[in-house]
């Protein structure tokens, strides 16, 4: 846990996609909600989600337990998907830039 207290547990940064088995990257659950279709947004829970970047795979987002999976047909095509899928440096409001790092 970082000294600022914003990181309560370590999050695995990657997980295998349940369909294509390629490496999927962690994405914050609040970034998933505006990307899925409006009628499915209620299914996005406060959980660890992953994004499959394999363009040939139908899976877009899935949660850590793989019991919630959003497919390409579940995505709101009007949403700015590129903005949420860009890698961002981790930082918190305290400005420690790396709460999950070994420093702290």
pLDDT of residue 25: 94
Compute CA distances 67 → 18, 44, 63, 80, whole Å: 10, 11, 7, 25
pLDDT of residue 10: 56
Sequence-distant (≥ 6) Cβ neighbours of residue 5 within 8 angstroms: none
pLDDT of residue 83: 57
3 exposure class (CB count in 10 Å sphere: 0-12, 13-18, 19+): exposed
Q: What is the pLDDT of residues 73-92, one digit of tens each?
A: 999 887 765 655 544 444 44
Class of domain 14-81: mainly beta
pTM of the complete model beyond 0.85:
no
Query: Where are the chain's structural domains?
Result: 14-81
């Amino acid at each position: 846990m970082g000294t600022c207290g914003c990181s309560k547990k370590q999050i695995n940064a990657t997980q295998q996609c349940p369909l294509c088995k390629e490496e999927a990257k962690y994405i914050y659950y609040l970034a998933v909600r505006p990307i899925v279709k409006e009628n499915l947004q209620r299914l996005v829970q406060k959980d660890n989600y992953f994004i499959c970047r394999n363009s040939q795979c139908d899976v877009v987002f899935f949660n850590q337990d793989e019991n919630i999976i959003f497919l390409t047909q579940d995505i709101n095509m009007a949403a700015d998907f590129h903005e949420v899928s860009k890698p961002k440096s981790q930082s918190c409001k305290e400005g420690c830039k790396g709460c999950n790092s070994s420093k702290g």
